[in-house]
Copies of this chain bind each other. A is one copy, B any other.
């Protein structure tokens, strides 16, 4: 195995770790469109947002100017418990593929939440605690975000109320138990603890819930309970800011060894991982200092970037959250039930949406059986059992490496390995048993989702 000077894993030392987040909006010529009040369609004011989010996070959400924002010491201390995450050279995968490409991945799964979500969870929990709040509310689907937030809240002594989509609550009891281990209260959604939940239960008895409904319940509890605010694991500008720690660490590690990626690849659901991974590289690209190919990978069954519309849309199905301008399939769009691979959100980060719209990045959609093939191949040579979400990026990275094999180009590929798949074995089992199928929505399916888009001038 050729190894030159690059170790299998590059770990930064504590004093090499970034002490500031990078705010890519500062370098964007066209800024992401502001959030709108869902009633008036006017830009949300800081005061309006302050009823839902805590103060410091509202500032971060609206800050399009400051390039760097200092990471508070308490968050740095927490980061040191599970970061830096390793930048791994995929020597074994390269060998197996027989490619001249050099493949690197930034692995964010080595913490109990199993994903990068913890990077923003601790930040959001910290600012809530710092504002003197008693607790936070959130929703969770697959459970990675809920787990991350529970861990952060346990560490800070903050109460944590999680609304978990009922079907996940019942089918993923282990995820629920991890959250309980961290002291969170976990409520299956829809529930009878909120007005919106009771309304939905009355209208659709026996419903197994949806992420949109869980968001609406979590927001209702946050705004109606003194001392509580709502927190969210993706989509928002603040989340991308916190997740920039992924890309900053990756860039410091690569610079240290004189490695320059030609292609940067990340999976995209709401955009939290992709936005974080690419942040400092995109900054260089926006400032004209360097060029990189940047590829967002999404499921063919939920293709916001590749087949969605760039428009204002609701962030939740209860329509209580602000409107965001983003690539969207419509808040009523629901991926087919055979879709196992996560990344089910109908919309996409407004920051990434604007960058994609302005031509700074590419996007491609991949089918889930091909994603699981890549996941298994990766697991067998690189050891790590990847999350289905992360495996979208693996699929694209392998495809790029195989293209290099054809052309003989020794490109350097960097991709984000966002997390582990320990709680996704039901999907792996389907794949092993040959019971996994693919689904691509028809244009008519998509039109139904688009029909629900709000009319915003």
A380-B178 contact in complex given A1-B77, A14-B8, C-beta closer than 8 Å: no
A181-B381 contact in complex given A8-B14, A8-B80, A429-B173, C-beta closer than 8 Å: no
Question: Complex: how many Å from CA A156 to CA B255?
Answer: 33
Q: Which residues of B contact A7 (CB under 8 A)?
A: 13-14, 80
Can you offer 24 A-B residue contacts whose CB atoms are under 8 A? Answer: A7-B14, A8-B14, A8-B81, A9-B80, A77-B91, A81-B88, A81-B92, A81-B383, A111-B384, A112-B379, A112-B384, A114-B422, A154-B379, A154-B380, A154-B381, A155-B380, A155-B383, A173-B429, A177-B428, A177-B429, A178-B422, A180-B432, A181-B432, A422-B422
**Copies of the chain in the assembly:** 2
Residue in chain B with minimal CB distance to A110: B110
Q: Which residues of B contact A91 (CB under 8 A)?
A: 77
B111, B376, B380, B422: the one within 8 Å of A423 (CB)? B422
Instruction: Say whether A127 faces chain B, with CB atoms less than 8 Å apart.
Output: no
B1, B92, B383, B425: the one within 8 Å of A177 (CB)? B425
Q: Which residues of B contact A154 (CB under 8 A)?
A: 379-381
Assign chain A's interface to a size class. 35 or more
Q: Which residues of B contact A180 (CB under 8 A)?
A: 428-429, 432
Question: Complex: how many Å from CA A383 to CA B125?
Answer: 15
Most chain B C-beta atoms within 10 Å of own C-beta, residue among A14, A154, A183, A379? A379
Residue in chain B with minimal CB distance to A180: B432
Assess whether A381 is in contact with B155, with CB atoms less than 8 Å apart: yes
Instruction: Say whether A68 faces chain B, with CB atoms less than 8 Å apart.
Output: no
Instruction: Say whether A420 faces chain B, with CB atoms less than 8 Å apart.
Output: yes
B77, B110, B173, B428: the one within 8 Å of A181 (CB)? B428
Assess whether A181 is in contact with B379, with CB atoms less than 8 Å apart: yes
Most chain B C-beta atoms within 10 Å of own C-beta, residue among A80, A81, A379? A81
Residue in chain B with minimal CB distance to A381: B155
Residue in chain B with minimal CB distance to A107: B110
Q: Which residues of B contact A80 (CB under 8 A)?
A: 7-9
Q: Which residues of B contact A400 (CB under 8 A)?
A: none
Residue in chain B with minimal CB distance to A8: B80
Residue in chain B with minimal CB distance to A429: B177
Among residues 20 to 37 in chain A, which have CB atoms less than 8 Å away from a CB atom of chain B? none
Most chain B C-beta atoms within 10 Å of own C-beta, residue among A11, A13, A173, A177? A177
Residue in chain B with minimal CB distance to A114: B422
Among residues 365 to 393 in chain A, which have CB atoms less than 8 Å away from a CB atom of chain B? 376, 379-385
Question: Complex: how many Å from CA A181 to CA B112?
Answer: 21
Most chain B C-beta atoms within 10 Å of own C-beta, residue among A13, A111, A425? A425
